[in-house]
Amino acid sequence: MEKLAFTDDGTCFEYEPLAAYVKKHKVHPVTKTPLADDGVHEMKLALNERGVPFCPIGSKEFLGHTHVVAIRPSGRVYWYDTVQEMNLKCKNWTDLVDGTPFKKKDIITLQDPNNLPKNHDPNVFPTITRVYDTPTDRGPEHALSGINVTASQKRIFAQLDTTRDLIDPPGASKRAKSGKTVPALSAAERKVWSSLPADAPRYAAIGLTCSAATPIRKDVKKVTRGEIDGKIFAAARRLTDGAALVRITTSAGDINAKLHCSLVPQTCYNFLKLAKQGYYNNTVFHRIVKNFIVQGGDPTATGSGGASCWGSPFPDEILGRLRHNAKGVLSMANSGPNSNGSQFFFTMQPAQHLDGKHTVFGQVIGQGDALDSIGDTPTNPTTEVPLKPVKLISVDVLQNPFEAIEREVEDAYDEGEQKLKKEEASQREREGNERRAWFSAPQSHEGATDSTAVGKYLKPTGDAPSSGEREAPRASAAAAALRVKKNTAFNMSNW
């Protein structure tokens, strides 16, 4: 994806054309209001493994209907619900990824599902506005030259020209490559193309028949695991008491801990998921630094192993209210920003220099005798590896708020998916009925003897007279006279 940028009004552009335009003209390309160079903000858009933009905290992919905001000082882009829950409600005025401080006015809306442009693509984020350096690039004067338009129509065209992006119609590039002359489209024509969906030509062709078929959309995307997890994390943040309780059984005794699921749901979800899978069972605390930390969670016991429950690193969830300010703080070990896996550590005393670098997600509760015993274990001063292995036998989950949330969210998605399948099947059935009604099955006329209808290609049936005989009139003379009498009022022959 090319380097992108946004302005204070939330309009998205390609970075280089926008920067060059602003540097030359000192105005906003769309609104024509004054715009300085520092009004162009580079967009730091996170991409998942499929190359789709997503929220680095909630892991929700950005689609055309997602409410998306950006933090102006850092340029990072988030799902609005994430910022609302983890910044606005908590009054946490630091960026959720890199800790850059910002103010409430620095939250810029890039996409509002309740206020979308007319040419908006529901499957794409962000909607990029093109930058045209000169008016002739768009050609509004050429579009209206030689055409008699009223003053109100001119105003409408002028407004459309400043608010709608222009695109080439389908097939234009093919005609250009074929060597044929491609007539230039007017601004109004190009705007019409920009407002049509990708499959509009097919729908229009079907609609030309007298029995138009019901179109079936083929671009309905299945719900991804990331979207389901995003819903689970959002629901966890709304919990008033979203704590989980775990018991970590070690060779030195038991350690009881409380996890902050409503504050850092993704980190807690990962730890609880791995614990329920038995991922931590029969591992060791591979690193112990006296009066500093006790680190574990690596099945390889090398300090460089371990993976998250998703199989790939997940981003940090750093909150200003969760700090390494006491003994027994449970935090994630990492190899840099947004590289969390399975490893964790306990602090043996306040270590505030770790704030903003590691995600705090729990706290030891009750007596910490087992943790003190582990912290006093003799180690190799060079490698910080215990001379005598300290085992982590198991992690028992005593209380897990995600279980009920997960069932509720997944059931809702299953119901929605079943409903979508029924709707698609119903649409296919309607389409099939319409096609069968329009394209009737061909009938053979050879040897047809069952029909009594008169037709050029149908054989007579029953005791029909031969071709050389005439059938005698069946109506009686009285009936004929009655017909004449009834038609007397309309008989004009006597005149």
pLDDT of residue 386: 94
Tell me which of 84, 354, 427, 458 is the catalytic residue. Answer: 354
Catalytic, out of 287, 330, 340, 346: 287
Separation CA 38–CA 54 (nearest Å)? 26
Catalytic-residue membership of 494: no
What are 54's strand-pairing partners?
61
Q: Which of 260-269, 287-296, 414-423 has the lowest mean pLDDT?
A: 414-423
Query: Is a pLDDT exceeding 90 seen at residue 450?
Result: no
Q: What is the pLDDT of residues 225-245, one digit of tens each?
A: 777 888 888 888 888 888 999
Cis ω for the linkage preceding 126 (within 30 of 0):
yes
Catalytic residue among 48, 84, 281, 334: 334
Question: Does 202 have pLDDT greater than 50?
Answer: no
Q: What's the average model confidence in pLDDT over 199-212?
A: 47
Residue 245: predicted pLDDT: 95
Q: What is the per-residue pLDDT for 180?
A: 45
CA of 305: how far to CAs of 36, 273, 374, in Å?
Answer: 48, 17, 21
Each residue of 348-388: pLDDT tens digit? 999 999 999 999 999 999 888 999 999 999 999 899 999 99
- pLDDT band for 422, please (50, 70, 90 cuts): confident
Is residue 358 annotated as a catalytic residue, yes or no? yes
In the residue annotation, 72 being an active-site residue is answered as no
Confidence of residue 142 (pLDDT cuts 50, 70, 90): very low
271 tagged catalytic: no
Q: Check pLDDT > 60 for residue 34.
A: yes
Question: At residue 167, does pLDDT exceed 50?
Answer: no
Largest CA distance in the chain: 135
For the ranges 82-96, 210-224, 409-423, the lowest mean pLDDT is seen at 210-224
Where is pLDDT greater, at 162 or 353? Answer: 353
Helix (H, G, I), strand (E, B) or coil at 276: helix
Smallest Cα–Cα separation from 127: which of 13, 287, 249?
Answer: 13
pLDDT at 92: 86
- Residue 261: per-residue pLDDT: 94
Q: What is the mean pLDDT of residues 319-328?
A: 93
**Is residue 451 pLDDT above 70, yes or no?**
no
Confidence (pLDDT) at 448? 46
* Least confident stretch, 134-143, 327-336, 447-456: 134-143
The arrangement of strands across the sheet holding 283-284 comes to 283-284, 391-399, 243-250, 253-260, 360-365, 329-332, 344-347, 293-296, 287-289
Kindly report the backbone phi and psi dihedral angles of residue 329, in degrees, each rounded to the nearest multiple of 5, phi listed first. Answer: -70, 135
H-run or E-run covering 483: helix 477-486
- pTM of the full predicted structure? 0.47
pLDDT greater than 60 at residue 163: no
Residue 447, pLDDT above cutoff 60: no
Query: What does the pLDDT read at residue 246?
Result: 96
| Residue 103 clears pLDDT 60, i.e. is over it | yes
Strand (E) positions, 356-403?
360-365, 391-399
Q: Mean of the pLDDT values across residues 31-38?
A: 89
Choose among 41, 50, 150, 64: nearest CA to 111. 64
Q: Which two tokens stand for residue 21?
A: 């335009």
Please compute the mean of the pLDDT values over residues 29-55 and round it to a whole number: 87
Residues 58, 39 contacting (CB under 8 angstroms): no
Q: Is 292 designated active site?
A: yes
User: Which are the contacts of 163, defined by CB distance < 8 A and separation ≥ 6?
Assistant: 30, 117
Choosing from 72, 164, 237, 358, which is the catalytic residue? 358
Q: What is the mean pLDDT of the chain?
A: 77
Q: 245, 292, 338, 458: which one is catalytic?
A: 292
Does residue 345 have an active-site annotation? Answer: yes
Write down how long the chain is.
Answer: 495
CB count, 10 Å around CB of 37?
A: 9
Q: What single DSSP character describes residue 131?
A: -
Tokens of 412: 């809702």
pLDDT band at 277 (very low <50, low <70, confident <90, very high): very high
Asked if 12 contacts 6 with a C-beta cutoff of 8 angstroms, the reply is yes
DSSP state of 106: G
**Which pair of tokens denotes residue 287?**
């690193």
Residue 287 is among the residues annotated as catalytic for this protein: yes
Q: Of the residues 87, 111, 119, 295, which is catalytic?
A: 295
| pLDDT of 461 over the 90 cut | no
Among candidate residues 233, 271, 314, 345, the one labeled active-site is 345
